[in-house]
Amino acid sequence: MELIIAPDSRAIATIVADAIAALLDRKPDAVLGVATGSSPLAIYDELATRYAAGAISLAGARAFMLDEYVGLAADHPQRYRNVIETEFAGRVDIDPANVQGPDGLAADIPAACAAYEQAIVDAGGVDVQILGIGTDGHIAFNEPGSSLASRTRIKTLTVQTRQDNARFFDGDLEQVPTHCLTQGLATIMSARHLVLVATGLAKAEAVHHMVEGSVSAMWPATILQHHPHATVLVDEAAASRLQLASYYRQTYESKPAWQGI
């Protein structure tokens, strides 16, 4: 696992956008894994800026979403499909038909989850998966206790996650759905490169466990320790509980630029 401590989310976004631009250069039909939440927003801003400047094109790219709330109306602004359209897909030239997500309105949820897994396989797998992390260490919506071998399925959200996300629902916990569909931890682990972004003090404990704790379903993000190519980008606040912070800094500072992330 590579750990990068950067000054702020803009600096993080530049590093991640550089990696995505390099990927698109060598593979114009790259498969991106896109995440919701506030953590990836600066990355989407940076990609939109580079697209507007003519520096990158996502015309051939494909994208798969991590997760979706169950039961939110098709036009609900917090439906993750709509959030991804607003924050990412609608700001670049990706073909909307090439952006897929789990169907939180499916009548047959197990069938929809199986079909989603197959769609990712049929696309050749995800090249780079952008991830955030919940304060309880969840990735996508794999809450504590999630099987480390899980695939796309329905999950019950914890009260903590619903409270964390209530800010997107007028601060009203009752409006936050209780269930979601989410890629499983094994689904996420199948991506060729994982890029996890975390900023702010509220993430410091989860980041510490993810990077330096024991691998455990109680801190689902610890599964990244088993990935051969995982990059974790954090700001100073999110890094504040890391025991080996100075080692990570030295390692990144002495890394040749040509290596990228």
Ligand X SMILES: N[C@@H]1[C@@H](O)[C@H](O)[C@@H](COP(=O)(O)O)O[C@@H]1O
Q: In the complex, which residues of this chain contact ligand X (CB under 6 A)?
A: 35-39, 66-67, 132-134, 140-141, 161, 165
Find the shortest distance in angstroms from Cβ 71 to ligand X.
Answer: 15
102 or 134, CB closer to ligand X? 134
Q: How far apart are the first and last CA of the chain?
A: 11
Query: In this structure, what DSSP letter does residue 21 have?
Result: H
51 or 168, CB closer to ligand X? 168
67 or 127, CB closer to ligand X? 67
Find the shortest distance in angstroms from Cβ 193 to ligand X.
Answer: 17
Do residues 98 and 208 lie in contact, with contact meaning Cβ atoms separated by under 8 Å?
A: no
The partner residues of 194 in beta bridges, in order of sequence, read 129, 230
Token pair 């670049």 in the structure block, residue = 92
- Residue 260's closest CA among 10, 28, 21? 21
Find the shortest distance in angstroms from Cβ 79 to ligand X.
Answer: 12
Maximum Cα–Cα distance across the chain: 53
Do residues 181 and 103 lie in contact, with contact meaning Cβ atoms separated by under 8 Å?
A: yes
Find the shortest distance in angstroms from Cβ 233 to ligand X.
Answer: 13
Catalytic residues: 67, 136, 138, 143
Do residues 166 and 172 lie in contact, with contact meaning Cβ atoms separated by under 8 Å?
A: yes
17 or 56, CB closer to ligand X? 17
- Residue 187's closest CA among 210, 153, 157, 137? 153
Question: Strand (E) positions, 41-121?
Answer: 62-65, 67-69, 99-100
SS3 per residue for 182-229: ECCHHHHHCCCEEEEEECCHHHHHHHHHHHHCCCECCEHHHHHHHCCC
Find the shortest distance in angstroms from Cβ 138 to ligand X.
Answer: 6
38 or 57, CB closer to ligand X? 38
